[in-house]
Amino acid sequence: MQPFPFAFPAAMMSNAASGSPFPGVPNFPMPGGGMPSFPGMPALPPMPPELTELFARWMQRPEKWREWGNRWLSAQSQLWDRFIHHRTEPVVPEVERDRRFSAPAWKANPIADYWRQSYLVFSQLVMELVEASDFPDGKTKCRVKFVVRQWLDALAPSNYPATNPEFIETAMATQGESIRRGIENLLADLRKGRISMTDETAFEVGKNLAVTPGAVVYENPLMQLIQYAPLTETVGERPLLFVPPCINKFYIMDLAPESSLVRFAVEQGHTVFLISWKNPGVSEAHFGWDDYLALGPLTALEVVREITGCPDPNVLGFCVGGTILASALAVAVARGDPPVHSLTLMTTLLDFAESGELGCLVDEASVAAREATIGQGGLMLGSELAQVFSMLRANDLIWNYVVGNYLKGEKPKPFDLLYWNSDSTNLPGPFVTYYLRHMYLENELRLPNKLKMLGYPVNLGAITAPAYVMAAREDHIVPWRGAYHSMQLLGGEKRFVLGASGHIAGAINPAKKNRRSYWVNPELPQEPDEWFAAARECPGSWWNDWADWLKEHKGKTVPARESLGNDTYPPIEPAPGRYVKEPALPLVRGSREAAAV
């Protein structure tokens, strides 16, 4: 696990540095080589080995290396000429759209303006060099791009006091008060072990988040099952079971009432049940993939059928919850269980051939190391998971708050999505290692009968329930083209819908706000780009399209139930239940919990 994020840039801070930090590569940010020499100016962060090797290979191709160097020098010459003659037009057009450098202070200060544009020139050239390089395979290239981007993001002049004019401007305007507040914020976050992204005092699960009325009607060591109270006088006879991801808390699907997918479904006249996964501790550190299937969707379906009397509920899975759900349904088919009536998958991978940067970071060595340490029992801490996901969008989820919280002394504003994002969960080691090896590394779930789960060979093609598959166009966790491959795996009628935005904002796009857009195309060619080329863009939230589709599968209309649960499964406690409120706090070194990690 990486150290606390702010320790990384802090370790890079030093006094004046001159000369090239690595041979053959132009210096940032001064033209013609040489770092500026004044106290507090940070030196370049250490170059990652992947980029060092890349430069070494390129230097064996002198004509390409000269071309790259000449482009760098030409850009530096333009920047220097612009600086000397006080011109204001940008040399790098992208600088006006980069949120890191959008404050007026960057443009008003000629030196800072030079720094930001010089940095962007260097970043563009380095990434072009990576793109143009030969790699053994696409996964290696993706991994190198990820590492190099992390380095370039850390290098941005906005991240350091001496090269950020906003820091200087704010410190002068507040007579140093912003510096004091920034140090306080940093110390507070060091105590928490993570960067604050929102005002966490503004939210409480069960008070202003996850407030859709309902009750826990069943629980086992791995999950609680919530049944939500009806909000309509009549409902469809078929209930709807939600299976959220276990890598974070379920209330991403039940935020404030106007943003709650759960409440939206209840308002559409569905009897909604939802799995709330337990935040694993030492007692749950031995659970594996089969345990999540057996104690999760398969048990939940049994309880839902017994409470409602409906043999074929509708089901929905989100992210890895969708992968768990589809696996469980394949087991159910193999052992002859009653089928479900329809399946909805939100931003879910079943075929992991196109798994994005997360897939690039999974290799044999890393998986084997996990198997050796936590594969037989142990925990992957929520703090580690959260940091991995933050690194996928480092500028938005790390450096943005380093600058705001620590350099400018600001308090982050209340934002429910970021509160949820910071409310991390642990994962049992056996579950993690099975998932990484058989899904991300070996991609075996897509192969009929290749994997056995709970003793049964699984075949996704045997799932013949009608399926609604939703992906998000800018999703960096579940790339939409990867999600589209589910069309070739599932056995029933299918509808694929592509929402705008990313993994969370694309999926949680409230119908009441009706923002963004989505794409539809009833034809399902094998290639995703061919599907998109003929797709029609529709304004608004994809939730409305899904509601219309699901209406066809809710069954006949019946009076809404007056009570939750039944005699066998009476209410245990009000929703959202206690499992979702368990925090994944950093474990104290030397404790019994730490020994299991």
Among 142, 246, 319, 360, which one carries the catalytic annotation?
A: 319
> Where would I find the H helices in 59-109?
62-84, 104-108
Distance CA 467, CA 341 (A): 9
> Where would I find the H helices in 485-589?
528-533, 542-551
Contact partners, residue 393, CB within 8 Å, separation at least 6: 476
Give the single-character DSSP code of 209: B
By DSSP bridging, strand 240-243 and strand 314-318 are: parallel
Contact partners, residue 144, CB within 8 Å, separation at least 6: 50, 51, 54, 130, 133, 135
What SS3 state is found at 527?
coil
Q: Following DSSP, what letter does each residue of 149-169 receive, concatenated?
A: HHHHHHH-GGGSGGG-HHHHH
Annotated catalytic, 319?
Answer: yes
C-alpha angle 407/584/349, rounded to 5°? 95
Q: Which two tokens stand for residue 452?
A: 């056995």
Tokens 């001159």 map to which residue? 18
Contact present, 330 and 463 (Cβ < 8 Å):
yes
Distance CA 79, CA 115 (A): 10
Axis-axis angle for helices 138-155, 49-58 (nearest 10) = 110
Distance CA 304, CA 300 (A): 6
Residues marked active site are found at 319
